[in-house]
């Protein structure tokens, strides 16, 4: 007996149930093989268009703000504050320049130069921080003279941290010398890097 004859011999209710099951399977197969891939393709296309539109808007915004950025850069370059930071493009490293300035200020205050320790630097708000630690023995008057000598220097040096150790035995008729551990900081601006070639952005359709 053929399959068609066997199906014809089944009760009417069972034939209807089999027909409905076949229709459901056909619809499921159609959903998996056609509808889902098409939905994924459309979603991917929409995401690409959204990303492209954002990239174009960002590039247009950069083009509009470029003149303002150039004006700000020119103002910063012409500002006298730029001369107060150390030159990173000089033949002498900024950390060595800072040590020389500290040594000069110590000599101006009547204190013998000491050994300097270079501490790890950092980058903050576009400036590179250079840190030097040193210890010295000086009086209060010499410390005051040291601060004045730093202020008279053309480049900015900041005393970030200072620890004083006074002798346990002191005389009433003189200012004792104290041992000081000082951390000094200075700043430099990195040399400008070469501009990166512009990247063309595809047009959104």
3-state secondary structure the chain: CCHHHHHHHCCHHHHHHHHHHHHHHHHHHHHHHHHHHHHHHHHHHHHHHHHHHHHHHHHHHHHHHHHHHHHHHHHHHHCHHHHHCEECCCCCCHHHHHHHHHHHHHHHCCCCCCCEEEEEEEEECCEEEEEEEEEEEECHHHHHHHHHHHHHCCCCCEEEEEEEECCCCCCCCCCCCEEEEEEEEEEEECCCCCCCCCCCCCCCC
In 23-88, at which residue ranges do the beta strands (DSSP E only) sit?
86-87
User: What would the mean pLDDT of 27-48 be, rounded to a whole number?
Assistant: 79
Q: Please give the mean pLDDT across all residues of the chain.
A: 79
pLDDT of 154-194, one tens digit each?
888 989 988 888 777 666 666 678 888 999 999 887 655 44
d(CA 29, CA 34): 8
- CA 82 from centroid of its chain's CA atoms: 21
pLDDT given at position 53? 83
Q: Does domain 82-189 bear CATH number 3.40.50.2300? A: no
Token pair, residue 37, equals 């891939």
Give residue 147's pLDDT: 92
The predicted structure's pLDDT at residue 102: 93
Q: What is the mean pLDDT of residues 113-120?
A: 86
Helix (H, G, I), strand (E, B) or coil at 168: coil
Query: Against a cut of 0.75, is the pTM above it?
Result: no
Of 16-20, 28-32, 94-98, 115-119, the least confident: 16-20
pLDDT of 131 reads 92
pLDDT of residue 2: 66
Residue 105's pLDDT band, with cuts at 50, 70 and 90, is: very high
Where are the domains positioned within the chain?
1-78, 82-189
At residue 139, the pLDDT reads 86
């Amino acid at each position: 007996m053929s399959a068609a004859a066997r199906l014809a011999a089944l009760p009417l209710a069972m034939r209807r149930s089999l027909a409905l099951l076949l229709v459901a399977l056909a619809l499921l197969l159609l959903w998996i093989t056609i509808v889902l891939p098409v939905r994924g393709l459309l979603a991917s296309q929409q995401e690409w268009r959204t990303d492209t539109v954002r990239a174009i808007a960002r590039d247009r915004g950069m083009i509009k703000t470029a003149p303002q950025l150039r004006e700000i850069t020119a103002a910063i370059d012409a500002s006298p504050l730029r001369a107060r930071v150390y030159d990173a493009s000089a033949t002498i490293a900024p950390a060595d320049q800072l040590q020389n300035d500290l040594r000069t200020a110590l000599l101006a205050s009547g204190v013998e130069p000491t050994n300097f320790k270079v501490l790890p630097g950092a980058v903050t708000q576009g400036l590179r921080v250079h840190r030097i630690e040193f210890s010295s023995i000086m009086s209060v008057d010499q410390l005051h003279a040291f601060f004045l000598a730093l202020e008279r220097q053309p480049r900015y040096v900041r005393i970030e941290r200072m620890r004083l150790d006074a002798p346990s035995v002191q005389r009433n008729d003189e200012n004792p010398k104290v041992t000081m551990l000082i951390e000094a900081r200075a700043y430099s601006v990195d040399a400008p890097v070469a501009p990166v070639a512009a990247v063309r952005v595809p047009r959104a359709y």
